[in-house]
Each structure stands twice: as structure tokens, then as C-alpha cells.
Amino acid sequence: MSDNRAPAPTPLRHYVSDAPFDPAETEEISAEQERLSTSSGWRLMWLKLKRHRLAVYSGYVLIVLYGSILISEFLAPYSLTHRHTDFIYAPPQGIHLFHDGKLSAPFTYGLNYRLNMENLRREYTVDESRRYPVRYLCRGDSYDFWGLFESDLHLFCPGEGGTLFLFGTDRLGRDLFSRIIYGARISLTVGLFGIIFSMVLGIIFGGLAGYYGGIVDSVVQRLIEIIRSFPELPLWMALSAALPVTWSPILIYFGITLILGLIDWTGLARAVRSKFLALREEDFTAAAELMGAKPSRIIGRHLVPNFTSHLIASATLSIPSMILGETALSFLGLGLRPPVTSWGVLLSEAQSINAVALYPWLMIPGLAVVVVVLTFNFLGDGLRDAADPYH
């Protein structure tokens, strides 16, 4: 309501345009709006997700982590089983950049080991006189890369004659950092395979309940309620205790993912069912029906695409519980067992209070679990918000 408006234009004479009237012209749509209104649901979801910065960063972190499991051998400075018998329970070694106040290439100091005869503790002291510059793209422990070729190339290794224990070593003198990198392979995929299995079950049961309704619905609902009334972990414990000890580690691994999925599907089934029920009543479904679409087409073309985004969001949110579940099971000794190395298996070394007091770095794998679970939660939250068109 300001006074300095543009000067009023001279009044027009009565004028009628000969051009045909196009109502669309009056509602001017900018090019961007145009694109938005015609873009697919997936694109809309992506646009919305992009604004959720924490979720996007979490997504990047996860991509990096999952990418790392493809080249674990290359990333880890040592191999999974390399034992440094001279460095048992060595504390984490820092990578230094300054020596005597001068900047230098990253290096590690030497470690001196002494057994304290009074309390029989291993004591390590940093020897600043010895310096080992970190090497890059260097030759180290040899490995078999995915069964494709032999190599011994590593991204970085300790300097000649030195050591590089970023996260310290365990009771056999194995480098914890390398073991965490290798452990990611198991810990990160357990959740993925578990969720795939649980999604299949969830879609089948939830779909059946939602599509047929009535008695099928009630039965599935009861089943879900019953499974939900079990405390999860004791049930996991019981089931994994039932896995035969004679199975090979890889079979046990799949057995565990199966067990994780077997109990987890209820949440997804509920989500699928409620989506099915809700979408069945939508106008576009009725329209499709009136146009004579068959049920298979309605489900496949109209219903499923509408809740896939939701499904992915809920799946993302339930991966963490699986990762935590595997960690807990392995920690208790019921899940994966060495030589398979997962973060839970690594943590089972930190089971005693002694470990916490004397070798706190053994708990670092727990930190890895926390980071992964957090990022999955953030990403899942973002996805869920993005998948919901009404908020």
C-alpha cells in the first residue's frame, strides 16, 4: 500500500482482440513450474530429499562406506589375519604432520614395547627419535582380489620398518583398523540381505492382506501381532542357536540374515497393507477400474509405484535394527563366528570390563556401528519425509 506506484497508464480505448482466447495463457506457468508439474514422482522425491541436507550427506557417507567394501583389500593397510606378535594390544598410533615444529609428510613414530613385570601389563611408549613416513600406493600384504587376481597393492602402508596401527591392535596383534574395514563387508551387507528378504515377505503378506482383505487380512494381522509380541532379541538368539554348528561360516552368515529378516518383515507388511487399503479407495484406482483395467494392471501400474517410495523409506529405517541385531548376536557368540569378521565379532573381544579399562580402543568397532546406524536413520528420515506428498 505505498503511494509511489507506477504512474497510471493512459486509459485504453475499448478494444477486443481478434485472436482466439486461450485460458492457459492467463495462468502463466514459468518454465520451472512446468517442469515440476510434469516431473515424475521420483524426481519430486529427489527434489524434496535434496533439501534435507543431513539426509543427503548421510547418503553420501553410506555410498562411500558401501563403496569401500568393494575394495577393502586395497584400503586396509594390513591383511585381515596379519599378526604382529611384537605388538599385542598396541594402542592406536597417530599419524603426525609436524616434527620439531616443522611440517613434514605424514609419518608415524616408532613404538617401544616393554612388559611391566610388576603388573604384567604391556606398556608401549612412543619413540620420537624414529620416524616412518607413510607410504602410498605401496606393496604390502598380498591378497586375492575377489578371486580375480593376486595383488599386494595398498592405498597406504606404514613406512619401511615401522608400524601403522590407526586404531591399535587386538590380543593377537592384528591391526584393528584393517579389521574394521574388512568387517564392514559383513556388517553392512547383513542388513542389506536381511532387508531384501524381509521386504519380499512383507510385500507378499502385506499385499495379500491388503488386496484380499477379510479373512486373509485378519489371519495375517493376527500373525503379525503374535510375531511382534515376541521380544526380538531372545527370538533371534533362539533361532541362531538352532543353526547347526557344522555349517560353514558362509552358510551361517546367510542363516543369520535369514533369521534377521524372518522377524523383521512385520513392520513392512503393515506398511504395505495400509498403503494397499488406502490406495484402493483413491479416485485414480476407481478411474482405472472403470476404464476396465485388470487387477494385475491396477496393482502393478497404479498401486505399487505409489508406495515403492514409502517402502524404500521404511526399509532404510529398519536396516539399522538388523545391523544392531547382528552385532548383538555376534557379540554374544551366537551369531557369526571367527574367521568371519564382522563388527560384532570384533566387539566380542571387548566383552570384559578389563578390555574397557585397559584396551578401550577395542570398542572402536562400536563407533563404526553407531556411525552407520545414525546415517541410515538420517537418510531414512529424509526419505520418509520426501516420500510423503502431504507434508
Partner 1 sequence: MFYFLVRRLAVMVPTLFVISALIFIIIQLPPGDYLSTLVSELEAQGENVDQEKLDFLRQQYGLDRPVLDQYALWLKGMLQGDFGYSFEHNQPVVQVVGDQVLLSVIIAFATILFTWVVAFPIGVYSATHQYSAADHTLTFIGFLGLATPNFLLALILMYLANVYFGTSIGGLMDPKYLDQPWTWGKLVSILEHLWVPVIVIGTSGTATLIRRLRANLLDELQKPYVVTARAKGLSETRLLLKYPMRVALNPFIADIGNLLPALLSSAAIVSVVLSLPTTGPLLLKALQSQDMYLAGFLLMVLSLLTVIGMFLSDIALAALDPRIRLTGGRLR
| Helices 176-212/214-228 angle, 10° precision | 150
Q: Which stretch binds partner 1 (CB under 8 A): 20-28, 72-80, 283-291, 370-378?
A: 370-378
Decide whether 162 or 267 has the Cβ nearer to partner 1. 267
Number of residues that bind partner 1 (CB under 8 A): 41
| Contact flags string 281-320 toward partner 1, x per CB under 8 A | ---------------------------------------x
Minimal distance, residue 358 CB to partner 1, in Å: 11
Confirm or reject binding of residue 353 to partner 1 (CB under 8 A). yes
**Quick check: 298 and 315 in contact, CB under 8 A?**
no
Show the site string, 214-253: x = touches partner 1 by CB under 8 A, - = not: -------xx--xx-xxxxxxxx-xxx-xx-x---------
Using rule CB under 8 A, residue 183 touches partner 1: no
Q: Which is nearer to partner 1, 256 or 373 (CB)?
A: 373
Q: Does 61 help bind partner 1 (rule: CB under 8 A)?
A: no
CB 211 within 8 A of CB 299: yes
Judged by CB under 8 A, the residue of 313, 336, 369, 379 near partner 1 is 369
Which residue, 299 or 323, has its beta carbon nearer to partner 1?
323
User: What sign does the CA torsion over 18, 21, 25, 26 have?
Assistant: positive
Q: Does 57 bind partner 1 (CB under 8 A)?
A: no
Can residue 120 be called a binding residue for partner 1 (CB under 8 A)? no
Q: Does 324 bind partner 1 (CB under 8 A)?
A: yes
Q: Is 387 in the site for partner 1 (CB under 8 A)?
A: no
Contact set with partner 1 (CB under 8 A): 221-222, 225-226, 228-235, 237-239, 241-242, 244, 320, 324, 327-328, 331-334, 347, 350-351, 353, 355-357, 363, 366, 369-370, 373-374, 377-378
